[in-house]
Amino acid sequence: MLKKILPALLAGTFALSAAAATPPAADETKAVRAAVEALGPDIKVDSVEAAPMPGFYQVVASGRMVYVSADGRYMLNGNLIDLKSKTDVSAAAWAATRKAALAKVPASQRLVFSPPNPKHTVTVFTDVDCGFCRQLHAHIDEYNKQGIAVEYVFWPREGVKTTGGNDTPSYTKAVSVWCASDRKNAFNQAMKGADVKAATCTNPVKDEFELGERLGVNGTPTVVTENGDVVGGYLTPAQLLKAVNAPAGTVGGG
């Protein structure tokens, strides 16, 4: 995966395998995509867009955002800062990407804990065995009293499959919670450490895990605001209220 390959390439600017000559403008995105995918067999490019800086494209691939020259030769890893406006261009781009992607996940594929008329909504990538996830859920009534709806999507920390090709324990538990006859009660009990009765059904857990991978999720809980900003990690009710009331792009990072 790109996030495993990139740490070895953090020289700032470095060569990718590319053609000697700059391709025509119409072929630039193809050259950029091919260059990034050539870094490894498991790398999947999700988007290629013109970057704010001339001669580069902004690429989202395997949960990372990088900048690649139009000829596919050079790649920059790190947040792009606009010194004139003093804004983090990468963080803003990531927020827009998350917002658009999460908007496609219907409420029917989330576990929703909401007050009657929420002022704010956060999406939380969660895992039933995660200690901080359990701490967050222990305060669910307080979040709701502050007007914050919490919508959970599953991100089993062990992934979906073991190296042997079997379902991981955390994936199995997430599926069992989703497939329970009383889903919310099963989730509440699981978040208190109770055993989960095994169950299977058609479920969104694998799709949600893969979505988190594409959006750069690497731990649980990951809290995303309605603006697409990542604000945590576990946050106390007071911290979360402060975060959701902050202007877009001023809390969290890319």
**pTM (2 d.p.):** 0.84
pLDDT tops 50 at residue 1: no
What is residue 247's predicted lDDT score, i.e. its pLDDT?
74
Which candidate, 71, 47, 60, 70, places its Cα nearest to that of 2?
Answer: 60
Q: What is the mean pLDDT of residues 208-236?
A: 95
What is residue 6's predicted lDDT score, i.e. its pLDDT?
45
> How many alpha carbons lie under 13 Å from residue 17 in its C-beta half-sphere?
6
Which candidate, 45, 92, 41, places its Cα nearest to that of 72?
Answer: 45
Phi, psi of 205 (to 5 degrees): -60, -50
Q: What is the mean pLDDT of residues 173-196?
A: 96
Q: Is residue 51 a contact partner of residue 45, using CB atoms and an 8 Å limit?
A: no
Q: How confident is the model at residue 178 (pLDDT cuts 50, 70, 90)?
A: very high
Cα–Cα distance, 223 to 230 (Å, whole number): 6
CATH class of 106-245: alpha beta
Q: What is the mean pLDDT of residues 38-51?
A: 92
The neighbour count for residue 79, using CB atoms within 10 Å, is 15
Pick the CATH number of 2-88 from 3.40.605.10, 3.50.50.60, 3.30.1330.60, 3.10.450.70: 3.10.450.70
**What are the residue ranges spanned by the domains of the chain?**
2-88, 106-245
Q: Is residue 139 a contact partner of residue 146, using CB atoms and an 8 Å limit?
A: no
Q: How does DSSP classify residue 247?
A: P
Q: How confident is the model at residue 246 (pLDDT cuts 50, 70, 90)?
A: confident
pLDDT digits (tens, 9 = 90+) for 179-190: 999 999 999 999
What is residue 28's predicted lDDT score, i.e. its pLDDT?
86
Question: Exposed, middle or buried: residue 17 (CB in 10 Å: 0-12, 13-18, 19+)?
Answer: exposed
Provide, rounded to the nearest whole percent, the portion of the chain with pLDDT above 90: 83
What is residue 103's predicted lDDT score, i.e. its pLDDT?
96
